[in-house]
Structure 1
Amino acid sequence: MISYGYKRKHICVGTFTTSEYVLTAAHCLYSIGISNIEIRICITNSNDISYENLFSIQKVILHKDCNPNTYKNDIVLIRLDRSIIQMLYLPHFTYIYIY
């Protein structure tokens, strides 16, 4: 899963279809404005954002029958500016044991 929005604010989520493509709702993408979107991957809070987990949009492929008024076919594919394969990792967690 990915988070995206603008100015470090979370707006919507998407899911990977390949290492460079994300599937998400078209109405979220266009409500923000494509040029303002920050795509964030593998973060647990906004303080963890760096170049490695901040991606840009290279291409947008809107469903040909998308209708923004009815949300019919409200899907879009986003091609990222680079592959995520090199940076995938599990976030570090602090475990608390409760007895």
Structure 2
Amino acid sequence: MTILRVPARFAAPALIGAALALGACAKKAPEPTPVALTPQEQACVDRAAAVTAADPAGITVMPSTSTKTGDMVYTVGAAGVNYTCVVSPGAQVSSFSAVTAP
């Protein structure tokens, strides 16, 4: 059996180089999958972006409830303000208004 002796001044750079080589070969984490919005949610995001001039990527959409006629009611957050968005199954926004405190 042969023992490899490395001078102390070369040991640290050799270990760092080996760690970097192993790290470069490591499997990369998968990219997160983008969130797919429903047509109704997208209609609310589009309306919020038009009203507030906010970046669509920074707009949040949360389902609140639905109506008897099938319309969906969403709470939309854009530019620091919450809005109520009512949208039909055909993705037509019928109401978009700022939420007021009770």
Asked if Structure 1 and Structure 2 have the same fold, meaning a TM-score greater than 0.5 normalized by the shorter chain, the answer is: no
Task: Write 1 or 2 for the structure with the bigger share of helix.
Answer: 2
**Structure having the larger proportion of residues in strand:** 1
TM-score for both structures, normalised by structure 1 = 0.25
TM-score where L is the length of structure 2: 0.24
Larger radius of gyration: 2
